[in-house]
Amino acid sequence: MRSSSSAAIASKPVPEGGEVIDATGKFLIPGLVDLHNHYRDGLEEWAWGLQLHAGVLTVRSLGSDHGQTPAMIAEARAGNVPAPRIFTAGVGFSHPEGFPPGKLGPATEEEAREMVRELAAQEVDLIKMWVDTFLDTRPKIEPGIRAAIADEAAQYGIPVSAHVFFEDDVWQLVEAGVRSFVHGVRDQEVDDEFVAMAQDNGLTFAPALGQAKTFWWVAEHPELLDDEEFRAGIQPPAFERLLDPGNRAAMLESESTARRRVAYDYVTKFVRRMNEAGVVITAGSDSGAGNIAYGWGTHHELEALVEDGGLTPLQALAAAGAAAAAELTGDPDFGTVADGKAADLVLLFADPLADIRNTRQIDRVMQAGVWLGRGLPAFPQPAD
Ligand SMILES: [Zn+2]
């Protein structure tokens, strides 16, 4: 980890024309991998610029590719737009009247299968589904439809990742073949039988703890409103709302926040239990949702995984490193600092193992062997 003391790297000959950096006292980590993001139509370059600035060099877009977003992802992959390495679910599934609005909402199993075939033709990297009532406000996608989606996706070898809240749904989805989850069990404490099932099936969870506490976090930490990287990564109207002390007080007093705190207590216990049992925990910020700023959100999630989820700083780095990379591809060439890998690197001023918040102390970011010019992008002005 300490870059100046790595004998293996120090002994490598410097390639001709190579630049030598004195990183004495600095710390080298792999470019961060964030498995849970939502990009907004027309705001993609802004979001990716924020993530590059924050050292987030691989991302997974989880089901919100609307409008120009698919075309922008294609441009990014072609190298025409600065962006992290992108994996995407395209547009995800929910109940026709479910949340979020505007998703794929098949009425029948055959329609669900047809929609999966269309996504397969678009060459999505995974399929996303939301399985949640959103605090009893929306219907959940039907179990038979979920199973049809998972079964059809399996025909094409496409993995499925499900947003979950209730333990019962995890059991049903695992039965249907789903192994990857975002968020976690938030309605009760799980028992030994659940833990064994999660171990036996190699389940992974990206719990989005930072997003879960966004409903009260800013109100309890108003100093965050002065944090440049937080401010830069949130859409201005949402930031304006947070500046109003009345709105922040309302966040703390609302009945839904009280319910969300109960859910948070369950999900943090869940993450601790899973992590202790060796079930893979990965980093996914849910950036683009609520008050989760792009870039900043990934570091916020790492902090929450340690502070509330009980991960060690090293485990948190793996959650945004090797563990996340393993979920994205069977043969990842990113997510670790090792010979022969893509040179996606973040050089830090301070030791992340001493304090996970030191991942924010960024000196430089290298993407595929090239140092990036860093800077917080301005929110795009409408063209009129
Ligand atoms: Zn999400």
Contact 301, 317 (CB under 8 A): no
Task: Quote the ligand 1 centre to 68 CA distance (angstroms).
Answer: 19
Task: Quote the ligand 1 centre to 311 CA distance (angstroms).
Answer: 22
Average pLDDT over residues 188-207: 98
Q: Is the pLDDT of residue 8 over 60?
A: no
Domain membership flag for residue 359: no
Average pLDDT over residues 290-308: 96
Domain membership flag for residue 260: yes
pLDDT class for 18, splitting at 50, 70, 90?
Answer: confident
Domain membership flag for residue 252: yes
Average pLDDT over residues 158-177: 98
pLDDT at residue 2, rounded to an integer: 44
Task: Quote the ligand 1 centre to 100 CA distance (angstroms).
Answer: 9
pLDDT in tens, 43-81: 999 999 999 999 999 999 999 999 999 999 999 999 999
Task: Quote the ligand 1 centre to 189 CA distance (angstroms).
Answer: 22
pLDDT in tens, 238-262: 999 999 999 999 999 999 999 999 9
- For the chain, how many structural domains are there in total? 1
Tokens (6 digits) for 133: 């009532």
Sheet of 85-88, strands arranged across: 32-37, 56-61, 85-88
pLDDT at residue 7, rounded to an integer: 47
pLDDT at residue 384, rounded to an integer: 55
Categorise residue 270: left if φ over 0, alpha if ψ from -120 to 50, beta otherwise: alpha
Which of 55, 63, 9 lies closest to 286 in space, CA to CA? 63
Which is it for strands 204-206 and 56-61: parallel, antiparallel or unpaired? unpaired
Q: What backbone phi and psi angles, to 5 degrees, belong to 322?
A: -60, -40
Task: Quote the ligand 1 centre to 226 CA distance (angstroms).
Answer: 25
Domain membership flag for residue 8: no
Q: Is the pLDDT of residue 281 over 80?
A: yes
Domain membership flag for residue 7: no
Give the residue, 5 or 234, on which the prediction is more confident. 234
Sign of CA dihedral 165, 276, 301, 53: negative
Task: Quote the ligand 1 centre to 258 CA distance (angstroms).
Answer: 21
Domain membership flag for residue 135: yes
pLDDT at residue 340, rounded to an integer: 86
pLDDT at residue 383, rounded to an integer: 61
Tokens (6 digits) for 203: 């389940």
Amino acid at 176: A
Q: Is the pLDDT of residue 5 over 70?
A: no
DSSP 296-334: HHHHHHHHHHHHTT---HHHHHHHTTHHHHHHH-SS-SS
Average pLDDT over residues 164-168: 98
Task: Quote the ligand 1 centre to 36 CA distance (angstroms).
Answer: 6
pLDDT at residue 14, rounded to an integer: 83
- CATH number of the domain that residue 111 is part of: 3.20.20.140
pLDDT at residue 12, rounded to an integer: 74
Residue 12, classed as helix, strand or coil, is coil
CA distance 66 to 59: 17
Q: What backbone phi and psi angles, to 5 degrees, belong to 285?
A: -85, -20
59: DSSP letter: E
Task: Quote the ligand 1 centre to 5 CA distance (angstroms).
Answer: 39
Q: Is the pLDDT of residue 232 over 70?
A: yes
Contact 68, 81 (CB under 8 A): no
Q: Which residues surround ligand 1, an ion (CB under 5 A)?
A: 286
Tokens (6 digits) for 255: 């009945």
Q: Please tell me which of 13-17, 147-151, 370-374 the model is most confident about, judged by mean pLDDT.
A: 147-151
47: DSSP letter: H
Which of 380, 379, 378, 375 lies closest to 53 in space, CA to CA? 375
Domain that holds residue 34: 29-342
Domain membership flag for residue 361: no
CA distance 116 to 381: 36
pLDDT at residue 161, rounded to an integer: 98
Contact 281, 295 (CB under 8 A): no
Task: Quote the ligand 1 centre to 163 CA distance (angstroms).
Answer: 7
Task: Quote the ligand 1 centre to 376 CA distance (angstroms).
Answer: 23
Task: Quote the ligand 1 centre to 195 CA distance (angstroms).
Answer: 24
pLDDT class for 329, splitting at 50, 70, 90?
Answer: confident
Q: Is the pLDDT of residue 282 over 70?
A: yes
Give the residue, 2 or 283, on which the prediction is more confident. 283
Average pLDDT over residues 317-336: 91
The pTM (predicted TM-score) of the whole model is 0.95
Q: What is the chain's mean pLDDT, rounded?
A: 94
Task: Quote the ligand 1 centre to 156 CA distance (angstroms).
Answer: 24
Q: Is the pLDDT of residue 1 over 50?
A: no
Task: Quote the ligand 1 centre to 37 CA distance (angstroms).
Answer: 6
Domain membership flag for residue 188: yes
Task: Quote the ligand 1 centre to 105 CA distance (angstroms).
Answer: 17
Q: What percent of the chain has pLDDT over 90?
A: 88
CA distance 32 to 321: 6
pLDDT class for 4, splitting at 50, 70, 90?
Answer: very low
Q: At what angle do helices 245-253 and 236-243 cross, to 10 degrees?
A: 80
Task: Quote the ligand 1 centre to 38 CA distance (angstroms).
Answer: 6
